[in-house]
Amino acid sequence: MELYHRTQIQNVVELDLAALEAVEAGFRALGEGQVVQPPILSMAIEEANGEVDVKTAHIRGNERFAIKVSPGFFNNPSLGLPSLNGLMIVFSARTGLVEAVLFDEGYLTDIRTALAGAIAAKHLARKDSRRAAVIGAGVQAELQIAALKLVRDIDTVDVWARDTDRAEAYAVRMRERFEGLCVNVHGDIESACREADVIITTTPSKSPLLYADHLPAGVHVTAMGSDSPEKRELDASVMTSADVFVADTRTQSETNGELKAWADEIPPFEVVELGKVIASGQSPRIGRDQITVCDLTGTGVQDTAIAGFALKRLLA
Amino acid sequence: MELYHRTQIQNVVELDLAALEAVEAGFRALGEGQVVQPPILSMAIEEANGEVDVKTAHIRGNERFAIKVSPGFFNNPSLGLPSLNGLMIVFSARTGLVEAVLFDEGYLTDIRTALAGAIAAKHLARKDSRRAAVIGAGVQAELQIAALKLVRDIDTVDVWARDTDRAEAYAVRMRERFEGLCVNVHGDIESACREADVIITTTPSKSPLLYADHLPAGVHVTAMGSDSPEKRELDASVMTSADVFVADTRTQSETNGELKAWADEIPPFEVVELGKVIASGQSPRIGRDQITVCDLTGTGVQDTAIAGFALKRLLA
């Protein structure tokens, strides 16, 4: 058994098309019914404003599977520590022996989460998308754009965040990271979204931020912030006005994602899973003016896919 | 973050009263409602006859909690590898940071499982118990007796196993390990149990082995083999004829343990949880001739308790 630390993993895994293909293959297998993916194990440590989630999945026929343990302790910033953390354990799928502990401190989660956004856009957003609106100004606001640029030729980013200083700092970082990228800071969500081809929500909001009347014709929306029972970014009107609604996993979207707006009733629209979209080989978008929405809650198959990809590179 | 290997852990944790007290304190906290213990995460890897379980719990106020990952791959013996394996990850309960990975390969699970049997006997078996019957001849058949001897003055062990050669080998091992211990190999379960003060079932059986008419008056039974939906060691008659029925966790006993005999109906007897027995400070046994039964399925609180105990010793 080998233990790998964050810097070792960062040296071999980044946001590129090879990593995207690995995560996409995981979703495709999920859509083809070739994945065992149990419900998330979740435990609250209330006295520390913390929680820990465990996710896993096995892609049938793969030589390895991973289990990811991700603690989120939300008082940590006041202690000078990051909120998110954790590691992945990689097992042989033939013997169950531990092959590696990837002590990535959440790095691979950041990567596979950003890649899922890019995969959603690849299959749902208009091919000529140039302009992206980002709601939120944290790590994922940055990584989602970086990943999106792998599949769409984005030249303009419009950002809104609750804290304008953070939005301004985001704009500076992004202009430095991507030469020639035009980044505009907005004072409200409506103006940030007005010209968007793609909207990405990346916040830990507990109440809807994005409403149907924020959506320009033909936009694709990826909502990746909500990943627990108390979080929500999209108003129900976003989903009822969409032509296509996709979830990474329907059951997780119902408990942790945007489908919890319909907790006790069947949603009045079709829910398609992202893996099935990929497996079908055909985008459900059938017109330039259609509105597509994808809700990402984070799935075990992404973790198994990125961990297997990382370990292969580490062993190469 | 520190990584500790099996031999390092074996050097500091063994079956002794200090370890027993640590696990007992975990159960007591569970009985006092001071433990968060989510349901087990379980995933099958069918093509390899494998499964992986994840257990965890947090004892409120404790400075650490652990997550245990245990793969069981049942074709491994044919590859010259052990079936059971795994590791425990110890986290700070204040920050969620990983403090240690205990790569114990299942050692601490063996220990905390044996200690739970001893804890059950401590609170349920007659204090003058001398003679124990063991059904099965594997690792737990040995460790359960070693642990039981911490709390009861056992001088005689009666063993039955499906494979008589394994029972004979067990007898040799036990006589070597415990000087003066009388070990008798039996050809059937009935004769093994005839004189027992304590009966311990330690098999992976999928159908009942122990029946009410095997039980002498006043016996205590611990059933620790069944820990998954398809396993079962006790016939329903054992439980209906018992005066006291205790489970480590009622919900786990219903899905993975002996209460699954009453899957769709309420059992016709009272179910008491082991933690509540300990917290009450009073044995539910109220007479020498009463029959007590305890079903152990293995709980996250035991893992958190033994992992915290082990790390304290490793850091000492």
A277, A130: one domain: yes
Q: What range does the domain containing A246 cover?
A: 126-299
Q: Is position A97 within any domain?
A: yes
Contacts of B1 in chain A (CB under 8 A): 103
Handedness of CA B149, B152, B153, B157 (dihedral sign): negative
**Predicted confidence (pLDDT) per residue in B274-284, tens digit:** 999 999 999 99
CB B54 within 8 A of CB A67: yes
B184, B76: one domain: no
Distance from CA of A315 to the nearest CA of B (A): 20
B282, B305: one domain: no
The reply to whether residue A98 touches residue B101, judged by beta carbons under 8 angstroms, is no
B57, B29: one domain: yes
- Give the number of other Cβ atoms within 10 Å of residue B268's Cβ: 9
Q: Is position A198 within any domain?
A: yes
Contacts of A40 in chain B (CB under 8 A): 41
A95, A201: one domain: no
B169, B255: one domain: yes
Distance from CA of B38 to the nearest CA of A (A): 6
CATH number at residue A208: 3.40.50.720
CB A158 within 8 A of CB A186: yes
Q: Is position A59 within any domain?
A: yes
- In B, residues 32-51, which contact A (CB 8 Å cutoff)? 36, 38-48, 50
Which amino acid belongs to residue B91? F
CATH number at residue B309: 3.30.1780.10
The whole-angstrom separation of Cα A297 and Cα A242 is 19
In the three-class reduction of DSSP (H, G, I as helix; E, B as strand; rest coil), residue A216 is classed as coil
Give Cα B277 to chain centroid, integer Å: 16
Q: Is position A114 within any domain?
A: no
pLDDT band at B150 (very low <50, low <70, confident <90, very high): very high
Percent of chain A's residues with pLDDT above 90? 98
Average pLDDT over residues B153-163: 98
Distance from CA of B94 to the nearest CA of A (A): 5
The whole-angstrom separation of Cα B292 and Cα B246 is 8
The reply to whether residue A95 touches residue B73, judged by beta carbons under 8 angstroms, is yes
Q: What is the pLDDT, as a whole number, of residue A180?
A: 96
Beta strands in B93-243 (DSSP E): 98-103, 131-135, 156-160, 182-185, 198-201, 220-223
Give the angle subtended at the CA of A19 by the CAs of A14 and A24, to the nearest 5°.
145
DSSP code string of B244-255: EEEES-HHHHHH
A152 has a pLDDT exceeding 90: yes
A264 has a pLDDT exceeding 90: no
Q: What is the pLDDT, as a whole number, of residue B272?
A: 98
Q: Look at chain A and report how many structural domains it folds into.
A: 2
ipTM for this model: 0.92
B148, B283: one domain: yes
In the three-class reduction of DSSP (H, G, I as helix; E, B as strand; rest coil), residue B170 is classed as helix
Q: What is the pLDDT, as a whole number, of residue A297?
A: 97
Two tokens, residue B212 = 């009410």
Q: Is position A121 within any domain?
A: no
Q: Is position A218 within any domain?
A: yes
- What is the number of alpha carbons within 13 Å of residue B220 lying toward its C-beta? 29
- What is the number of alpha carbons within 13 Å of residue B112 lying toward its C-beta? 28
The reply to whether residue A76 touches residue B86, judged by beta carbons under 8 angstroms, is no
Two tokens, residue A51 = 């929680």
Q: Which residues pair with A157 in a beta bridge?
A: A132, A183
Return the residue of A nearest to B87 by Cα.
Answer: A98
Of A52, A79, A98, the CB nearest to B87: A98
B263 has a pLDDT exceeding 90: no
Distance from CA of A32 to the nearest CA of B (A): 17
CB A119 within 8 A of CB A197: no
A57, A74: one domain: yes
DSSP H or E stretch at residue B56: strand B50-59
A89, A201: one domain: no
Q: What is the pLDDT, as a whole number, of residue B61?
A: 94
The reply to whether residue A73 touches residue B94, judged by beta carbons under 8 angstroms, is yes
A147, A41: one domain: no
**Predicted confidence (pLDDT) per residue in B209-250, tens digit:** 999 999 999 999 999 999 999 999 999 999 999 999 999 999
- What is the number of alpha carbons within 13 Å of residue B161 lying toward its C-beta? 23
pLDDT band at B54 (very low <50, low <70, confident <90, very high): very high
The reply to whether residue A52 touches residue B56, judged by beta carbons under 8 angstroms, is yes
A83, A162: one domain: no
**Predicted confidence (pLDDT) per residue in A75-113, tens digit:** 999 999 999 899 999 999 999 999 999 999 999 999 999
The reply to whether residue A89 touches residue B93, judged by beta carbons under 8 angstroms, is no
A165, A295: one domain: yes
B264 has a pLDDT exceeding 90: no
- In A, residues 50-69, which contact B (CB 8 Å cutoff)? 50, 52, 54, 56-58, 60-61, 65, 67, 69
The verdict on B160 touching A (C-beta cutoff 8 Å) is no
pLDDT band at A136 (very low <50, low <70, confident <90, very high): very high
**Predicted confidence (pLDDT) per residue in A208-218, tens digit:** 999 999 999 99
- With 0-12 / 13-18 / 19 or more C-beta atoms within 10 angstroms meaning exposed / middle / buried, residue A70 is buried
Provide the mean pLDDT of chain B: 97
